[in-house]
Amino acid sequence: MINFSDFEKKIGVSFKDKNLLKQAFIHRSYINENGGTGLSHNERLEFLGDAVLELIVTDFLFKKYPTYTEGELTALRSALVNAIIISQIATKIEMNDYLLLSKGESKDNGKARQYILANTYEALVGAIYLDGGYGVADKFIAKTLLPHTEEIVAKKLWRDAKSLVQEKAQEFVSCTPQYSVLSETGPDHDKHFTVGIYFGSSLIAEGKGKSKQEAEQKAAEAALKVKNWLD
């Protein structure tokens, strides 16, 4: 079985309840293949961790950027708490080495693994919060995620891509972008959408995501790059 003690040292968090730490890494597919172990998957922890993460990031941004409007803070938080950045952080702290997946799931190292890692990071935050409290979770997030804020602000990555592409499209091509779902795959609990962004009848770019909203954002970001509208 996986020994999590090295991981605890790596993140600087020592768990009182080691089973809680292990549960954070258990994907639903592992339980389907390993019934009767008495273990449960990490989705409840992910639900809790998502809320803890949002509160800690919101509190940090509120204090750090006192002149930002509610809309700007919301956009900045969305840019910080997104699957791509969080999966990169999870990879950096080597969470991939501890994932408990089904044999089939463990072979997929593409986009699906990114989402699993991001969800597992959120589950880990939930486990840290339950085991050590808000302060310990706050320190973990401050150490792993919050340092990325400066880059996001410096590069203006927090701007809402859909709003920006609409503004640019109206300015340069006198039209309002339209979005259309091109494909939808996966079971209900793990949907993946591909969305196209159109200027009139012309398909400009595509985006993928676990929700239509995320896929639309990705399509908008891609369109901004295609049109060279990122200033």
- Active-site choice (46, 122, 216, 221): 122
Q: How many CB atoms lie within 10 A of CB 135?
A: 9
Q: Exactly one of 8, 43, 50, 206 is catalytic; which is it?
A: 50
Strand partners, 190: none
CB atoms within 10 A of CB 142: 13
184 catalytic, yes or no?
no
- Cα-Cα-Cα-Cα torsion 34, 39, 29, 93, nearest 10 degrees, comes to -120
Tokens of 47: 């639900």
| Tokens encoding 77 | 């938080």
The yes-or-no answer on residue 50 being catalytic is yes
210-228 residues labelled b (16+ CB within 10 A) or e (exposed)? beeebbbbbbbbbbbeebe
Active site residues: 50, 122
